[in-house]
Amino acid sequence: MAKLFGTDGARGVANKELTSIIAYRIGQAAVKFLGNTIVVGKDTRLSGDMLENALEAGIMSMGGTALSVDIIPTPAIALLTRELHADAGAVISASHNPPEYNGIKFFDANGFKLPVALEERIEAYVLAGGEPPESLPNGDAVGFVAPVENAAEIYIQHAVDVVRAQGIDFTGWKIALDTGHGASSVTSAEAFRRLGAEVVTINDDWSGTDINVECGSTCLGPTKALVAECGATIGVAHDGDADRVMLVDAEGNELDGDVVETVCAIDMKKRGCLPHDTVVSTVMCNLGFRQAMAAAGIEVERTSVGDRHVLERMREGGFAIGGEQSGHMIFLEHNSTGDGLMTACLFIAACIRNGWTPEEAGRMMTHCPQVLLNVKVADKHAFEWNKEIAAAVREAEAEMGDDGQILVRASGTEPLIRVMVEASDEARANEMAERIAAVVREELS
């Protein structure tokens, strides 16, 4: 594995790129660089048990303690790391990626993702072979695993308490929930029910090989069908580790991260709890989002793609809400990372407080046509210095002028080049995107 850490932890095909040996060394690195007590959780992937055992073995080999919380959403690890006063948290998950992938990412003692410089130190240590055998403790100096029986309960109750503290409950709402055969299968439905909602759930079982497969936040067809079938007020769809969420209204309209951030930011401003009247998003946010925020008197700070960059800007500027179009949303008062359950709860709470239906809330912003093409390539890193692709982008930008934007970037987690084109005319956006994608295929496939 030439490089371990991408935009969101170490990730790769399990047992091929991300092996038990790598996981063992990462466990050693956790103790060496982060501390002795590490919260360890995972999503529902078949490879999760294998990697968890290896990771925990690495932790124990250094004399550390693994607080095992089993299957649980990624944002719960961030919360539990703080609540259990651990030194760090580790999540074994590949988030929205297909089942054959898996990953390992860390949170520090305050529940924040690690800075890039620290990840680079961990990566160098792991690739160098981990801890020398002669340096390892032995006998009664080795560590152990301590199961945390009420981990999911702590996370569920946290979300419930946040909503109840606002004087809100979900009585009268019917929620169609797709947990994507993932980690939210053990948390979201229970939280919604405790808040008074009627919940109809699909894909809340798992085989280990079905996570994210034609379901959840990356495939909203099943959620839309369930909303129509059961007459739900709203549909909620998580990805595999539930750090993101996508919503569907009763008419079948998708409410993506831009819509959710619009609604929540306007509600927060009305309540006087939107610091500096500013939100954070990325360069991928829709022009319609920026227009809606301007109309509401709210500034938009834009960052590079990735919730790491969103969070960094939030902390630097003292901002309370930031997110991505893909459904990652950070409410810094309530959690230190993207939290799909918290996002859904706060969106519904905003609707109830203001008397909005999800359909009315969704109309607070109008999407400008935006086309996103994912091009599978042999070497995504070669994109950075490819002159033909750069020339094609420059030509398209000159042709488009001020009528939209173009963003071409390598995926942080998959062998893909993402081509995004936004324009006032959908046909033009499609034509531009296909033209650039064709050059990417020719050059890199």
Active-site positions?
A: 95
**HSE-CB for 201 with a 13 A CA cutoff:** 21
Reduced to 3 states (helix: H, G, I; strand: E, B; else coil), residue 60 is: helix
Contact, 309 vs 282, CB < 8 A? yes
Which residues are bridge partners to 198 per DSSP? 174
Reduced to 3 states (helix: H, G, I; strand: E, B; else coil), residue 99 is: coil
Contact, 291 vs 375, CB < 8 A? no
| Eight-class DSSP state of 142 | S
Distance in Å from the first CA to the final CA of the chain = 21
DSSP alpha helix (H) spans, 216-339: 221-230, 257-270, 287-295, 307-317
**Shortest CA distance to 109 belongs to which of 36, 24, 29, 9?**
36
Reduced to 3 states (helix: H, G, I; strand: E, B; else coil), residue 21 is: helix
CA dihedral 408, 290, 312, 248 (to 10 degrees): -80
Reduced to 3 states (helix: H, G, I; strand: E, B; else coil), residue 366 is: coil
